[in-house]
Amino acid sequence: MQELRLDNIFHWLPFMNGTSLDLRNVKWCEPIAIGVIKSLKLLNPTLEIIKPHDKDLNCYFNVIESEQNSEYKTYMPLKTINVYSRGEVEKISYEIVSKILRNTFSDSIDKDYDFVRDYKDYLNYMINEVLLNAVSHSESKTDIVVFAQHYSKYRKTQVVIVDCGIGFKATISRRYKVENDANALERAIEKGVTGAQEYSYQSSIRNVGIGLYALRKMIEKLNGNLVLISYNGFLQISSNSLFCKNYTQKLWNGSIVAFEFDTEEINFDFLKFMELYVYPEEETEEDIF
């Protein structure tokens, strides 16, 4: 277990249990692992975390113990949000996006304003929609964890949102018949599918069940990777593949939504993207949201 990455999560996630985590031999770690470990720590405050030998990684892991900001890091200080704090969702999404823009794209703000604006719009939508779903439906036993980082060298941004709640199956089955956790994940990324028992007029029926579907389309078009995990269900989507399976062993008590995308693949402004790939069969309307 030397690398804790999004693309190999199935290999290390099952070992994230017990009263202690021995991470001394870890050589590389991405936000997905930090989010999972933080959630485990919230569930069990006495959990012992033996940090990596690598000094840089050791500093990275310090974010688990603190939410202190740093003006010189490319990652957002790890954030937690209570399931009753729906009003905090937009604020936290804004903080994460602003932090990444300020620390990673500060030199591009004037030189390439259009790109920075588009990147901000895409990322803010992605985080806001997933986080809002978690706050609204997860009934998490702990605070929900949010963590993000942009890797300039690899031109990618990764985000993870973790909860310890009732899971996708319990939510989706309120309105649809699903066989298992994996089936619930498949339904969750379909257009128009929602676990909400009711919704307000302000949200517009046209937009109900669009959040995860739109995220899926963005990941497919931006050469990205999306992973959904909930109890026994595992789903992974990339630009050219979809893998979904229900395992006999439980993978996570709650839900994990993690995604990454290539920033250089952003070729349309956000509203144009929604018009082309999310609402292609409908006439353009001014009030998309």
pTM of the complete model beyond 0.75: yes
Q: Please tell me what DSSP assigns to residue 77.
A: P
The helix or strand, by DSSP H or E, that contains position 152, with its residue range, turns out to be: none
Answer whether 145's CB lies under 8 Å from 97's CB: no
β 28-29/3-4 pair status: parallel
Alpha carbon distance, N-terminus to C-terminus of the chain: 43
Task: Supply the CATH classification number for the domain 69-278.
Answer: 3.30.565.10
Residue with the larger pLDDT of the pair 13 and 289: 13
Residue 238: predicted pLDDT:
92
Burial 160-195 (b: 16+ CB within 10 A, else e): bbbbbbbbbbbbbbeeeebeebbbbbbbbbeeebbb
What's the chain's length in residues?
289
Confirm if 101 and 120 have CB atoms less than 8 A apart.
Answer: yes
- On the question of pLDDT at 285 being above 90, the answer is no
* pLDDT band for position 109 (cuts 50, 70, 90): low
* Residue-level pLDDT at 286: 41
Highest mean pLDDT among 72-76, 179-183, 269-273: 179-183
- Cβ density class 113-148: b for 16+ within 10 Å, e for less: eebbebbbbbbbbbbbbbbebbbebbebebbbbbbb
Distances (CA, A) of 130 to 3, 77, 125: 26, 18, 9
Helices 113-137 and 211-221 cross at an angle (nearest 10°) of 140
Per-residue pLDDT for 72 more than 60? no
Position 65 pLDDT exceeds 50: yes
Tell me the C-alpha to C-alpha distance, in Å, between residue 225 and each of 89, 165, 219, 241. 23, 23, 6, 10
The model's pLDDT over 169-180, given as tens digits with 9 standing for 90+, comes to 999 998 899 999
* pLDDT class of 282 with cuts at 50, 70, 90: low
Beta partners for residue 256, in sequence order: 162, 229
Is the pLDDT score of 138 beyond 90? yes
- Which is more confident, 31 or 60? 31
- What is the average pLDDT value for the chain, to the nearest integer? 86
Q: Provide the token pair at 40.
A: 């485990």
